[in-house]
Amino acid sequence: LIRGGLLMENEIIVYLDDSIHRIIYGEDPTPGFYSEIIADSVGLWAGRTLTGNKDVHFFLDKEGLMRFIRGDVPRSVSDRKFNKLILDEIDPVYYYRAAARFYPHLGHLYLTYPKSGSSYNDVQLIYDVRSEELISKKALTVENYSSYGEFEKDLSNFSPDERKTYGLCVVPIIGTKDGYIKEQKIIGYQDGVSNYESSITACPTFWKKKSQNKRILQADFLIEKMTHDDITFVIDLANEM
């Protein structure tokens, strides 16, 4: 059963539930496309966790979180550190609901999955690919993240200094089960705990035409204080909100 596919360089990598294949063009015996097996003991168990670019793919296998680098074979991201944590927590009945997204500009892999006993994605991990460390694990007590994406801000008219001040032009987008879309910018992390500083921004929303923006009439905030330290937050309203 084909679970998904993703480009790697100019080749199509096809993921089944128990194997991975490369689609290549050949002349022998006749011109056409042929399938070549890459791995016969690894597969894609959660279709929405397949993510990556032309150089590297990430996906969730029955053995845990896997990384497939071009020119190599699929390998565990961290069989000693995180895979046991993920596999011990995830509910096998709702394995397919897990979702992931790799953001090369950040070097971060976002993964959300349903914890055992839950029918929706209520845990989010953020894995730093460069340092090979888990930098955030957060319980989603309020929201159900169902998908990830990204959008690119137009900074073409900004000077280099202005761009640096404004931040990254490509930012993570989070979609929830209830149909809401949010932008999440991670400012900093606290190692070893689930709390971290972040900024959640409502993305530009329009109906059919970009010039017909929908206004936000109400914003509700639920803050759970789990520290003795003071909590500060800022609300910025865009023009004509």
Residues ≥6 apart with Cβ < 8 Å to 135: 108, 126, 127, 128, 189, 191
Residue 189, beta-bridge partner list: 196
Q: Are 23 and 8 in contact (CB under 8 A)?
A: no
- Cα 13 to Cα 68: distance, rounded to the nearest angstrom: 10
Between CA 161 and CA 169 the distance in angstroms is 13
The DSSP element (H or E) to which 164 belongs, if any, is helix 160-166
The sign of the CA dihedral 227, 127, 122, 145 is positive
Tokens of residue 141, six digits: 């007590």
Written as tens digits, the pLDDT of the chain (241 aa) is 889 999 998 889 999 999 999 988 877 778 888 888 999 989 999 999 999 999 999 999 988 899 999 889 999 988 777 887 888 888 888 888 999 999 988 889 999 999 888 888 989 888 989 888 888 888 887 778 888 988 766 666 777 676 655 555 667 788 887 777 776 655 443 444 444 455 555 555 555 565 665 566 666 666 666 667 777 776 666 655 5
